[in-house]
Amino acid sequence: MCSTGAIDVTSMSTSDLVDAAAVIAAELAQREAPDSAAACMRDAETLARATDLHESALAVLVGRVDAAGEMRRFGYPSTRGWLRSLGMREARAKERIALARERHRLPEVTERLACGELSYGYAATIAAAVTRLNDEDCAAAEEILLDFTGRGFSAGKVAAFGNRITDLIAERDGTEAPDADSRRGYERSWIDSTRSLDGGRFIKGWLNAEDAALWDGTLASLAKPAGTDERRDLSERMAAALTNVLSGGHRATKVTVICDLETLKGGRTPARLTDGTPIPAEQARRIALTAGVNALVLGRGGIPLYLGRTVRFASAGQRQVLEALYPTCAVHGCEVPGTLSEVDHVTGWALGDCPTDIDNLALTCAFHNRFKAAHPEQIHITQDSGGRYTYRLLPPADARDRYRPSDVPDPWDPPAAS
């Protein structure tokens, strides 16, 4: 029986243990470090091992939520969206979800992590490596990669082995190694995209033979050198070709620049794009020349913004204004771009006196648009001085005491007597 002092932890429920761990962590975070550097090193190593054990427990809990789809009751369209709302970075959320979903296929990894014999870094690396493998290859991959951890390879090196795991499986079993085009053994194409700190993106992925043929047929001719003095290498030309295809070339370019009229006439006031990105006045004028500027008129000019109840759907002009107001879905924490969202009647068009006017419209992603219609009591709406609405998600009634944000009124409380 495991006990701490007079407390028998084996008799405590999982929730009690989680609450106790949270209290201890909160107290520990306020403590000063010991004066002895040697003591700090010892305590840091102990805390790191304890953190790995916490990650093992977290994987169990996240796996149960993911399998049951519980996060959707709270208005989160995916497990990743739920974890992101807790403040996790995209990469860490993906890493934890992979471990939670692959635990049942990695029994040895799961047992060693729970016993403190394997670090979370190794466990997460192995889980990421087997995500797209079938069960037979997954078992072989677990054995091979665990062997590498036992030989002292770093987690980064094990990840590198994981990237070519199908080659290692073929080499171990003495079978014919897969050809270069299918060495990953995946049936479906995939692309991973991670945003960098400066707003760019890192991209990696794999295309199956059919998709690779489309890639080559579409981009190969566009990626050819522009002339004898071409200074870009093939990778740079391929990126330019892909960008050209995604934008539809100059024929389909759609750029909305929000700026003062004086800026277009030569002023120095900076402009901005619909996602809030600031751009210099000179660049704004260059965009205007190459792609045209979509005018944003609030109730004036040739774009009707107030349509009343005679029209069900928002006009193109209203949509344009909304995309300028909402770089993302109006739901707090949702990162679906406004350009990919749906126009939502804030008070609901079908409820009565709810006109299709610009001050009654917002942009929400498809999931949250449906969620708001089905669970209006779980949406708290505020509007700032600029006219932009913000939707805050509320927990379902059976969880309101534990999860309701302190700054949001309880929608289930009866109104106060006057």
Of 138 and 163, more confident: 138
Q: Which residue has the higher pLDDT, 367 or 255?
A: 367
SS (H, E, C) the chain: CCCECCECHHHCCHHHHHHHHHHHHHHHHHCCCCCCHHHHHHHHHHHHHHHHHHHHHHHHHHHHHHHHCHHHHHCCCCHHHHHHHCCCCHHHHHHHHHHHHHHHHCHHHHHHHHCCCCCHHHHHHHHHHHCCCCHHHHHHHHHHHHHHHHCCCCHHHHHHHHHCHHHHHHHHHCCCCCCHHHCCCCCCCEEEEEECCCCCEEEEEECCHHHHHHHHHHHCCCCCCCCCCCCCCHHHHHHHHHHHHHHCHHHHCCCCEECCHHHHCCCCCCEEECCCCEECHHHHHHHHHHHCCCCCCCCCCCCCCECHHHCCCCCHHHHHHHHHHCCECCECCCCCEHHHCEEEECCCHHHCCCCCEHHHEEEECHHHHHHHHHCHHHEEEEECCCCCEEEEECCCHHHHHHHCCCCCCCCCCCCCCC
Q: What is the pLDDT of residue 22?
A: 93
Which of 98-102, 221-225, 314-318, 405-409 has maximum average pLDDT?
A: 98-102
pLDDT reading at 112 higher than 70: yes
pLDDT at 408: 55
Do the strands 278-279 and 342-345 form a parallel or antiparallel pair, or are they unpaired? unpaired
pLDDT at 42: 95
Residue type, 266: G
pLDDT band at residue 64 under the 50/70/90 scheme: very high
- Estimate the crossing angle of helix 120-130 against helix 107-114, to 10 degrees: 160
pLDDT at res. 30: 94
d(CA 231, CA 205): 26
Q: Which pair of structure tokens corresponds to residue 308?
A: 């009343």
How much is the pLDDT for 216?
A: 77
pLDDT for 399 equals: 78
Residue 241 has a pLDDT of 81
Across the chain, mean pLDDT equals 77
Identify the pLDDT of residue 307.
Answer: 40
pLDDT over 80 (residue 212): no
pLDDT reported for residue 401? 66
Residues with Cβ within 8 Å of residue 245, at least 6 apart in sequence: 218, 219, 222
pTM here? 0.64
Would you place residue 38 in the very low, low, confident or very high pLDDT band (cuts 50, 70, 90)?
A: very high
* Mean pLDDT to the nearest integer, 120-126: 94
Q: Residues 13-30: pLDDT tens digits?
A: 999 999 999 999 999 999
Tokens 């006031």, residue located: 269
Instruction: Read off the pLDDT band of 361 (50, 70, 90).
Output: confident
Quote the CA–CA distance of 359 and 72 in Å, as a whole number: 29
Question: How do residues 252-296 score in pLDDT, each as one tens digit?
Answer: 445 566 666 667 667 787 877 666 667 777 776 665 544 444 433
CB atoms within 10 A of CB 218: 13
For 328-359, the pLDDT digits (tens) are: 899 998 888 888 888 888 876 444 455 556 67
315 has pLDDT over 70: no
- Residue 46: is its pLDDT beyond 90? yes
What pLDDT is attached to residue 279? Answer: 73
**Closest listed residue to residue 53, CA positions, set 17, 85, 8, 83:** 17
Q: Say how many CA atoms lie within 13 Å of 313 toward its Cβ.
A: 3
CB 71 within 8 A of CB 65: yes
Name the CA radius of gyration of the chain, rounded: 27
The model's pLDDT over 144-197, given as tens digits with 9 standing for 90+, comes to 999 999 898 998 888 888 878 877 877 777 665 555 444 444 567 878 777 776
Q: Specify the higher pLDDT residue, 22 or 245.
A: 22
Say yes or no to pLDDT of 318 above 80: no
Q: How many residues does the chain have?
A: 418
Higher pLDDT, 198 or 255: 198
- Output the pLDDT for position 184: 47
Q: What is the pLDDT of residues 87-99, one digit of tens each?
A: 998 889 999 999 9
Q: What are phi and psi of 392, to 5 degrees?
A: -105, 130
Q: Is the dihedral of CA 231, 237, 239, 242 positive or negative?
A: positive
More confident residue, 183 or 79: 79
